[in-house]
Amino acid sequence: MTTTSHSADYVLTGTFTRRALQLLRHAMRTQRRRFWTAITAAAVFSILVVAFGTLLGQITDDVVIPGISGDPIKGVWGEYTQDPVKAILLAGSVFVAIGIANAVLVGVRRAVQGSAVAGVGARHRQVVADALASLPLGWHRKNPSGRMLSAMSSDSETATDTLHPFAFTVGSFVMMFAAGASMWIMDPWLAVTGLAVVPVIFAINVVYERVITPKWDKGQSLRSEVSTIAHESFEGGTVVKALGAEESETERFARSTYALRDADTKVGRTSAWFEPMMDLVVPLGSVALMIVGAHRAAEGAVTVGNVVSAIYLVTLLAVPIRGLGWLLGQMPQALVAFRRVGEIAQAATEVDEPGHLAVPTDGAGALHFVNADIGADDGDGELVVIVKDVSLELEPGTITALVGPTGAGKSTLALAATRLARPTVGKVTLDGTDLADVEELGKHVALVPQTAFVFAGTVRDNVTLGENYSDDLVWDALKRAQVLDVVEELSQGDLKGLDAVLAERGMNLSGGQRQRVALARALVREPRVLVLDDATSAVDPRVERDILTGLSASGRGPTVLLVAYRLASITLADRVIHIDQGRVVDAGTHAELIARDPGYRSLVFAYEEDSKRQAQEEAERVE
C-alpha cells in the first residue's frame, strides 16, 4: 500500500462521534476477520447473559415463590417435576450451562481481540516507518527527532488503547437492546426506567471529551519533547561532558519531564471525576427501578420475578457500561494519537520512486542543470527556492567542486543531483533524461553526506546495507575509500575482516573513519554519479587527496560533484563552480577563477590560511 493511501486512511473529520467512528472503522478494515470474530463472541455472550437474567425472573415466579409457599411448580419446570428441589437443580443446571458457554466465549473474545489490537498497533508503526522514506527533508529539519519516536511508540500505542474493550462494547450494545427488549416485554415503564442511564452516560462523556482533549494533546506533545531531549543527550553526550554542561542539560531535561508530569496530572485529575460519575449512574438507576418496580408490582402490572429480572439486568449493565465508559474515556486520547500518526503519513508527500524511464547503467554519467531554480521543502510541503537560474554541465568522469560561503546553496544544489531537492523551474538531466523521470535513480547516483551515519553491526552490513554484494566488491570499495587499515584495527578474535563489529553510531571510529565507511557504502554500488556533500571534511587531507585521485585513476570512476571547503580538494577538481547567495557567480578551472573572480579568490585564500593552521596544529601534535 502506498503512502498516499496510508494518509487517506488517517484523515479524521467532523464531530467527536464521527471521528470516533472513523477510527473504529479504520481498525475494522485493518483486522476485519479478527474483530468480527471477537464481536460475534461478545454478542452471543451478551444474549446469553440477558437470557440468564430473564430466566432468573421466571424461576423466581415459577419455582422459588411456589416452592416456598407450597404451591404447584409452574411453567416448563412444572412439566418436568413438582419437586421444588429437583426443579431448582434443573434450573441450576441450565445456569451452569450458560456459565460454561459464556466462559468459552470470553476466552475466545479476549484472545482474538488481543491479537487484533496488536495488529492495528503494528499497522500504525508500519505507517510511520513507511513514511520515513517519503518525508521531505524540510519536515525532518522542522520537526524534532522525538516527534518520530513518539509516533512510533506512545502515539501508536495510545491510538489502540480504546480498541481493547471494543468488541466487548459492541456486545454491550447488543446486551442493552436485548435487555431493553426483555424489560419492554415485561413492562414498558420498567424498560424506560432501566435504560434511562444510557443517555446520561453519553452526556457525561461529551463534557469529558471537550475537557480532556486539549489536555491530552499537550501531554503527547510534551512526550515528544522529552524524547527529543533524551535523544539529543545520547547523541551529544561527549559535547555535554567536554564543556561541563551536565548541570544545565540535566535542568533542561528536568523542566521538560516536570512539565510532562504536570500535564499528566491534569489529565489524571480530569479522569478522576469522570470514572466515579460513570460508576454512580448504574446504582442510581437501580434505585429508580426498585421504586418504579415496587409501584408497578403493587398495581399488579408486573410480577415479583419481573422486578427481580429488571433489577438484575440493570445491575448487570454496570459492567458493559463500565466498558463503554472506558472506551469513551480513552477515545479522546486515542483520537489525538491517531491524528499525530496521520500527520506524519500525510506529510510523506514524496514519491519513493517517481521515475519510469530506464537509463543505461554503464560508465560515468553526464549530469546537466538546465536553467534550473532549485527548491527545498520548508517542512509544510511548500518549496522555497534556494538556488536560482543554474546552468551547469558535468561531463562524464570529471570532478566538479562547488565552492562558496556558508548558506550559499551548495548543499541544495548537490541534493538536486540526487532528487532530494527539486527544480521549480528548468530541469536536471542525467544523460539527457530528466532526473524526475529516471527509473531507480539510486543505481545511478549515490550521495555521501557530511554527517556519516554508521549502524551497529559488522563492516559488511554497514557497507552493503543488506544488499547482495560479493566480499570482493566490498573489499574493493573499502580500498578505494582508504579504509582498509581501519578494518584491520577493528579485528578481534574471530570477528575480523568484514565481520569486524562497528559500535552503535560508529562510536569506535573517529569522525574521518566514519566518513570513509560511508564513502565505501556509496562506492560498492558503483554509481555513475557520486555526490560528496563535504563528505571528507573530517578526513586527513592526504587521505582525502588519495581518495579523490583514486576515484578516476582506474578510468572507471564516476562523475563526482563535490562540496568543497579545502584548497587541496578544490585544486584536484577539473572544474570549480563558485556559488554565492543562491546564484552561480562563475565557473571554470581553479586557476581561471583565481585570476578573474575576486570573491572566489578571497574565499580560497581564507581556505588556504585555514589549511596552514590545521597543518601547523598537526605538526605540533606530532612533536
The contacts of residue 517 (CB under 8 Å, 6+ apart) are 452, 454, 459, 462, 463, 481, 483, 486, 502, 506, 509
The answer on pLDDT for 34 being more than 90 is yes
CATH, residue 457: 3.40.50.300
**Inside any domain, residue 7:** yes
The contacts of residue 363 (CB under 8 Å, 6+ apart) are 396, 528, 556
Same domain, 66 and 164: yes
Same domain, 104 and 210: no
Boundary (domain end) residue, out of 484, 503, 525: 525
**Inside any domain, residue 311:** no
Same domain, 175 and 267: no
CATH, residue 140: 1.20.1560.10
- Domain assignment of residue 426, given as a range: 367-444+527-622
Same domain, 346 and 399: no
Query: Which cell is 136 given?
Result: 521531505
Q: In 448-510, where does DSSP find H-type helix?
A: 459-464, 471-480, 484-490
Distance CA 119, CA 202 (A): 29
**Inside any domain, residue 145:** yes
pLDDT at 115: 92
Q: What is the gyration radius of the CA atoms in the chain, in angstroms?
A: 36
**Residue 619, burial from CB neighbour count under 10 angstroms (0-12, 13-18, 19+):** exposed
Same domain, 36 and 66: yes
Pair 385, 374: CB distance under 8 Å: yes
**Inside any domain, residue 18:** yes
Predicted confidence (pLDDT) per residue in 281-323, tens digit: 777 877 888 888 888 888 888 887 777 777 777 777 666 666 6
Quick one: average pLDDT of 521-537? 84
Boundary (domain end) residue, out of 509, 525, 541: 525
- Which of 142-146, 375-379, 520-524, 536-540 has the highest mean predicted lDDT (pLDDT)? 520-524
Smallest Cα–Cα separation from 523: which of 552, 558, 496? 558
**Inside any domain, residue 595:** yes
pLDDT at 112: 93
pLDDT at 612: 67
**Inside any domain, residue 361:** no
DSSP single-letter state for residue 365: P
Q: In 483-589, where does DSSP find H-type helix?
A: 484-490, 511-523, 541-553, 567-572
Predicted confidence (pLDDT) per residue in 68-104, tens digit: 777 788 877 777 778 878 888 888 888 889 889 989 9
Same domain, 194 and 291: yes
Residue 244: pLDDT band with limits 50, 70, 90: low
Predicted confidence (pLDDT) per residue in 533-591, tens digit: 877 777 777 787 888 777 766 567 788 899 888 887 888 888 999 998 888 888 888 88
pLDDT at 1: 47
Higher pLDDT, 181 or 377: 181
Distance CA 82, CA 64 (A): 12
The contacts of residue 511 (CB under 8 Å, 6+ apart) are 452, 538
pLDDT at 512: 80
Higher pLDDT, 34 or 216: 34
pLDDT at 111: 92
Same domain, 57 and 177: yes
- Which of 102-116, 249-263, 308-322 has the highest mean predicted lDDT (pLDDT)? 102-116
Same domain, 338 and 390: no
Boundary (domain end) residue, out of 492, 525, 558: 525
Higher pLDDT, 539 or 397: 397
Same domain, 3 and 109: yes
How many contiguous H segments (helices) and E segments (strands) does the chain have? Answer: 25, 12
The answer on pLDDT for 46 being more than 50 is yes
Smallest Cα–Cα separation from 394: which of 596, 530, 198, 244? 530
The helix (run of H) or strand (run of E) holding residue 158 is helix 156-161
pLDDT at 238: 58
pLDDT at 174: 83
Same domain, 60 and 171: yes
Quick one: average pLDDT of 197-206? 75
**Inside any domain, residue 212:** yes
Average pLDDT, the chain: 80
**Inside any domain, residue 308:** no
Predicted confidence (pLDDT) per residue in 452-505, tens digit: 788 888 888 888 887 888 888 889 888 888 888 888 777 776 677 788 888 777
Same domain, 148 and 199: no
Same domain, 55 and 65: yes
Structural domains counted in the chain: 4
